[in-house]
Amino acid sequence: MKFFFKVVVFFLIVFNFRLPIVYNSVAIAAILASIYYVFIRKSIPFSYFFFRYNTIILAATILLTLITLSFTIAHDEFSVLFTKRCLVMLSMLLALVYVLPLLIEGNEKTAYEEAAFILCYAFALQGAIHLTGFLVPPVGDFLFDMKPEGTKAAILDPSANIDKFRAYALTGSIFFELPSAYGVACIMFLRIQLMEDQQYITSYKSYAIFFLLIIGICLSGRTGFVGIALGLVWYLFFAYNKLGAIFKTGVRVLAGYVVLLCAFYLFLSPKQQASFVDDLFPFAFEMYYNYVDEGQLRTASTDVTMKNFYYPLEDKTLLYGDGVGSREHQFYKGTDAGYMNALIYGGIPYLLVLLVYQALYFIQPVSVAYKRNTRENMIDLSCFVLLYIYMLILEYKDTALGTQHLTEVIFLFLGSCYLIKYYENQEESENEN
């Protein structure tokens, strides 16, 4: 029960959805943590606010917010969109640091593993909620009504061509951010499988969790499959000496999923089966459908990104930007591409700021992992590098570097817990000597 409570608290922060009276779920997480601290722990801990890694990230986020604001002020544009994203992210990061003692209390020596498990369970829970909304119309309508009016209007606009079921997730970020974060969760799911003496992949829980992660990606957006692809290549690289066992296990796992999916599909009503076949599958596997129909591996969003979202920029824009995003710009056409929006807003200097800020989440964990030349630490080092590369790839399609709320909260959680585990074990080792 305590573990599930941790998952719920983390869920409330990372998915940050709107609520009446308290405004959003982050406030509920802070309230729940405060109740726990006051009535059970008997004290409110603030020590992790002064933990070096957390302090650096929080200070850097404040600095990023000020830099972001300064670019638009310097151009007399006063665009608040980018600055607002930074402020929302800052509130989520502060909330995570506040609840961190609750999330890892009693498990400091295995904090990183605990963080990975909490992350996977939280996203599996999101997948279950999203699936329920997709299959049960009243639940889906309720989840849809929780979204801001602007979001609902955009989805209901026929010209936007957005599937309504994407709004059935319980989060404030239902488009690019959610599937991107699912990709991170899948990478960490595979990281769990590489942990020593880990039998997680053979348990029934793993079937359910990975199934819900995949369902979550299918319902929210295909971007998460990029994370799965990167994670699988990385996983096979470190598990090369066990390829025979992996193949045998993989056959059993695949057979298990086929049986599970068939049983699940047969359990559905004809109307629900039709929703999968007519709505979900064409969206989630658009590339396969296009290959069957046209003989080409392509998706509409990829075509738009490659053909319309990248175009030449003026020299002055590249040098110091124009202080607004592409959608607000009077000259450039609107684009979703993250690199383009960063350059249009603040030029190359702002893009470099975002690159450095994103790297801050990984520099210290990578440095610590590099100090100890063991297989586990090399896996951890490469995992953090892979997550940074993943963000660089995502930025090609949409805004990701430095301002993607869900992933930044996850990175702070993972990085902080990794360092807490390292220092706790280092202190124990020194005491024994």
Q: Where are the domains of the chain?
A: 2-267+299-432
Question: Is residue 1 over pLDDT 60?
Answer: no
Once rounded to an integer, what is the mean pLDDT over residues 11-31?
A: 86
What is the pLDDT confidence band of residue 430, given thresholds at 50, 70 and 90? low
Q: Using alpha carbons, list the distances in angstroms from residue 102 to 34, 114, 120, 298.
A: 10, 12, 18, 45
- What is the enclosing helix (H) or strand (E) of 104? helix 81-104
pLDDT the model gives residue 398:
83
pLDDT the model gives residue 428:
63
What is the pLDDT confidence band of residue 18, given thresholds at 50, 70 and 90? confident
Task: Give per-residue pLDDT as tens, 258-313.
Answer: 776 777 777 777 777 777 776 777 766 777 667 666 766 666 666 666 667 788 88
pLDDT the model gives residue 412:
94
pLDDT the model gives residue 432:
59
User: What is the per-residue burial (b if ≥16 Cβ within 10 Å, else e) of 306-325?
Assistant: eeebeeebeeebeeebbbbb
Q: Could you give the residue ranges of the DSSP H alpha helices within 239-294? A: 243-267, 270-275, 281-284, 286-294
pLDDT the model gives residue 110:
84
15 or 312, higher pLDDT: 15
pLDDT the model gives residue 252:
66
Q: How large a percentage of the chain has pLDDT more than 70?
A: 85
Q: Which two tokens stand for residue 151?
A: 């979001």
pLDDT the model gives residue 431:
61
What is the pLDDT confidence band of residue 68, given thresholds at 50, 70 and 90? confident
pLDDT the model gives residue 388:
95
User: What is the per-residue burial (b if ≥16 Cβ within 10 Å, else e) of 40-59?
Assistant: eeeeeeeebeebebbeebbe
Task: Give per-residue pLDDT as tens, 405-417.
Answer: 889 999 999 999 9
Task: Give per-residue pLDDT as tens, 103-145.
Answer: 988 888 888 988 999 999 999 999 999 999 888 888 888 888 8
In this structure, the number of other CB atoms found within 10 A of the CB of residue 366 comes to: 19
Once rounded to an integer, what is the mean pLDDT over residues 158-170?
A: 80
pLDDT the model gives residue 12:
93
Task: Give per-residue pLDDT as tens, 391-401.
Answer: 999 998 888 88
Q: Which two tokens stand for residue 33?
A: 């943590």
Once rounded to an integer, what is the mean pLDDT over residues 164-183?
A: 86
What is the pLDDT confidence band of residue 382, given thresholds at 50, 70 and 90? very high
What is the pLDDT confidence band of residue 433, given thresholds at 50, 70 and 90? low
